[in-house]
Structure 1
Amino acid sequence: MRVVLPLWLLGLIGQSVAHFVLFSPVSLGYDDTRETESPCGSFDATDRSTGVTDWPVEGYPVSILTTHGSVTWEANAALISEGAITWVPLVLPFAQTGVGDVCFTQVPGNPAWVGQAAVVQLIQHAPDGLLYQVR
């Protein structure tokens, strides 16, 4: 029997340090070799060149491909304003097992921030360290 894999998956398998890919909402940027750089995987949290995502207070779905079999996730947010960015948890850290696609159906927004520009950060506590992506 012959197994046919999608080209994007073959590209991930070929990377020796693949971690996780944020599919929805689309990450501000992705660089697998710099995903360990806090707080945003080497990308600027204030960059809006890839657009913005309206994040309802009641929650937004998050879809990820992970290449680690056992991890803990954090979902945080911060207002984009002048000065230091202060990260606030959106949910309690939670465990996930199994390699492949994972979907968190409702990551809530912060009701105190309605109408303000913010950024959402996902942190994966993986066997090889902390990994970061933002939207």
Structure 2
Amino acid sequence: MARLLFTALLALACQTVFGHYQLTYPPSRGFDESREVIGPCGGFDSVSSNRTDFPLKNGFLEINSEHPKYTYKVNIAYGNKPTAADFSADTSVVAQGQVAYPSQSCLQVDLSSVKNATDGTLATLQIIYMAGDGDLYQCTDVTLKNEPSNFNTSACINADGSSPTKSGSTGSQPSSTNAASTIQAGGFMIMAAVVLSLVIA
């Protein structure tokens, strides 16, 4: 009985430490943590009927990361129903970088000089997130606009307090980031202590 309880709690602790990520803005096509490993869009193949207007200049994707450090790549595919092959060309990469803090991050995506990105074009943006547990995928369906009518610029936030225009930097982490990492580590230590006490009992 103690061994079964130990295994269950250890699995829960690992889930707490090794989480994934969520695309929070523009809205994701769909989210299921267990399916994020399925390309090209985290297991969601149907295009959303509610597209977000996405600016050709100074656009962004807002994500929430459960890892304290990760790299990412943003691809674009055009048309109403892009397939996995549409994301695979080298020319589809429109942004990439590395982030060294957990929680919210604003990933800059400027399409102003990207070929075929024009006003009124239907497109899908794909995020490939890499934090050591395999490539993870999510997508958002958008309409590219010179002057978007429904794009929420206030959704662009970095949890470490840095300027959103520097979201890809890998500099030293400020105290707010260290606090977040400490809380995450502290949660794991508490879980380990609980497991140990139950095994001893």
What's the TM-score once normalised by structure 1's chain length? 0.77
2:60 match: secondary structure: strand
Are 2:96 and 1:97 equivalent residues in the alignment?
no
Q: Quick one: which of 118, 124, 129 aligns to 1:124?
A: 129
Deviations 1:53-84 (A, max 9, x none): 11221132221110112111101110125775
After TM superposition, the structure 1 stretch with the greater mean CA deviation from structure 2, 64-73 or 110-119, is 110-119
Distance 1:95 1:26 in 2: 22
Letter in 1 for 2:110: P
Distance 1:83 1:97 in 2: 32
How far the C-alpha of 1:118 sits from its partner, in A, is 0.8
**Within 5 A, what are the aligned runs for 1:59-98?**
59-80=58-79, 84=83, 85-87=85-87, 88-91=92-95, 93-98=96-101
| Percent of matched pairs sharing the same residue | 29
Contact kept in structure 2, 1:74 and 1:122, CA below 8 Å = yes
Corresponding position of 1:112: 116
Structure 2 gap segments, 5+ residues each: 1-11, 141-201
Indicate the structure (1 or 2) with the bigger Cα radius of gyration.
2
Letter in 2 for 1:119: T
Contact kept in structure 2, 1:57 and 1:111, CA below 8 Å = no
Q: Looking at secondary structure, tell me which structure has more strand per residue.
A: 1
Corresponding position of 1:27: 28
Distance 2:68 2:137 in 1: 17
Contact kept in structure 2, 1:35 and 1:131, CA below 8 Å = yes
Distance 1:65 1:82, change over 3 A: closer
| Alignment: residue pair count | 119
Distance 1:82 1:40 in 2: 12
Backbone CA RMSD of aligned residues: 2.3
Corresponding position of 2:57: 58
Distance 2:67 2:127 in 1: 15
Distance 1:86 1:22, change over 3 A: same
Distance 1:83 1:24 in 2: 20
Distance 1:83 1:119 in 2: 7
Distance 1:14 1:57, change over 3 A: farther
Distance 1:27 1:15 in 2: 25
